[in-house]
Chains A and B, each alone.
Chain A
Amino acid sequence: MRDKAGPHDRVWEVFRQEAEGDPMIHGGSVKAPDEELATHYAREFYGRRQESQRLWIVPRDAITELDDPDLLKPPFDRSFKRPGGFLIKHKLEAARERAGSPQVDEVAE
């Protein structure tokens, strides 16, 4: 990612975990010349109300970003990759009828 800051003034992205086992969620960023000071800033801005279980402090220029919609949201039908892409209701009813089984509601898969 682009970072206009010089080597003595890096941008660090801060990720937070709210409770044990939760995913790390992006909180914001801090600017600091080194890891130690970045850690202090991150603690002050994202952890001083006991609202964080864990912080990740990552130099922004270490992050590789992919946001190309051609790769992430290709305009092809990808419904076969999702459970909702398979519409079985009527097929199941027909199959049960042929087998002579009763029609029952199922718990969703």
Chain B
Amino acid sequence: MDDAARADTFYAHVSGGGKVEPDDWMPDDYRAAVLKFVEMHANSELMGVLPEREWILRAPTLRRKLALTSKVQDEVGHAQLLYRVAEDLGKSREQMLQDLIAGKTKFHNVFHYPTRSWADVGIIAWLVDAAAIVSQQALRDSSYAPYARTMKKICWEESVHIMHGRDVVLTLMNGTDAQRASVQDALDRWWGPLMQMHGPPTNPETDRDLIWKIKAKGNEQLRQEFLSIYVPRIRELGLVIPDPALAYDDEAGRWAYTEPDWDELRSVVTGHGPKSQERLEFRRDARATTQWVRDAIIGPVGTAAA
């Protein structure tokens, strides 16, 4: 069988719900697409801890501090698991980390913004993690089996974070007027990035990630699922979602909303967000100051790959 015929057989296999293991033959296009997808996910887990890390020392109680520290540790653990999945596709962890801090690869839009108050920590852990888990649950059906298996473990841990975040928000909403206002303020600032997070709708006829079942659901479907679950849960607390056009359209069977700012999304994920450069700089510093540990354990990079 020549490579073209092999590729046809392969694509029919994945499009029909078949799974792929690391040692299976796969076309270069598929390998590159899975690698790009998983690498971006891993980058996001690693960069995603920085906005929350800033609040560990300022957490209001010891229990909150423990929960937040544990969440940060989880997310770094997720990055480790995902870089491991990506490594098996042929790119070294070292290269992925170098590309990340050089700004060559991306991470999710929501991690390019500042965390201004403790309420931001609650809104991030509740709603950003909720928007993420909607897409991560769909990734448990990914055609790339090691990724799908890893997502099962990750989803289980993320569900803890959502409860932690919701608990933070509920505590503030039961507090003083100033505390309640801080939640509304955080929601006002985070709603735009949240609506952009799943990305613009893609054409299911041409979206290769979808056709090859690397991801199981389209961007718009994920956003609709997020809105269906979380809009009622936000509104029942007396919070106001800052989008007057947001309403469920019974006839169309979907949520209508103000078009998210896709220019902002493109600008932010290409390193032009309010905190993009500062956070990348933090990673560069951290990598430089911990280099001696990696050198001591695995030897200077480059000599290990004998």
The verdict on B224 contacting chain A, using a C-beta distance below 8 Å, is no
Tell whether, in the assembled complex, residue A31 and residue B87 are in contact, meaning their CB atoms are under 8 Å apart.
yes
Query: Which of B21, B84, B90 contacts A31 (CB under 8 A)?
Result: B84
What residue of chain B has the Cβ atom nearest to residue A41's Cβ? B80
The contact string, 1 if C-beta is below 8 Å from chain A, for chain B 71-85, is 000000100110010
Tell whether, in the assembled complex, residue B81 and residue A28 are in contact, meaning their CB atoms are under 8 Å apart.
yes
CB distance from A105 to the nearest CB of B (A): 38
C-alpha spacing A19/B271, complex, angstroms: 46
Stretch at the interface among A5-13, A71-79, A86-94, A96-104: A5-13
Tell whether, in the assembled complex, residue A45 and residue B80 are in contact, meaning their CB atoms are under 8 Å apart.
yes
Contacts of A26 in B (CB 8 A): 149
Identify whether the interface residues of B are mostly helix, strand, loop, or mixed.
helix
Assign chain B's interface to a size class. Answer: 20 to 34
Contacts of B153 in A (CB 8 A): 27-28
Tell whether, in the assembled complex, residue B84 and residue A1 are in contact, meaning their CB atoms are under 8 Å apart.
no
C-alpha spacing A33/B157, complex, angstroms: 27
Contacts of B304 in A (CB 8 A): 6, 8-9, 33
Tell whether, in the assembled complex, residue B77 and residue A44 are in contact, meaning their CB atoms are under 8 Å apart.
yes
**Known pairs A6-B306, A9-B304, A37-B297; A45 contacts B87 (CB<8 A):** no
Query: Which of A2, A31, A45 contacts B23 (CB under 8 A)?
Result: A2
C-alpha spacing A2/B89, complex, angstroms: 12
The contact string, 1 if C-beta is below 8 Å from chain B, for chain A 24-50, is 001111110100010001001100010
C-alpha spacing A31/B153, complex, angstroms: 18
Tell whether, in the assembled complex, residue A45 and residue B305 are in contact, meaning their CB atoms are under 8 Å apart.
no
Tell whether, in the assembled complex, residue A30 and residue B84 are in contact, meaning their CB atoms are under 8 Å apart.
yes
CB distance from A28 to the nearest CB of B (A): 6
The verdict on B298 contacting chain A, using a C-beta distance below 8 Å, is yes
C-alpha spacing A29/B297, complex, angstroms: 19
What are 8 A-B interface contacts by the 8 Å CB criterion? A4-B90, A9-B304, A26-B149, A28-B150, A31-B93, A37-B297, A45-B77, A65-B23
Binding site for B on A (CB under 8 A): 1-2, 4-9, 11, 26-31, 33, 37, 41, 44-45, 49, 65, 67
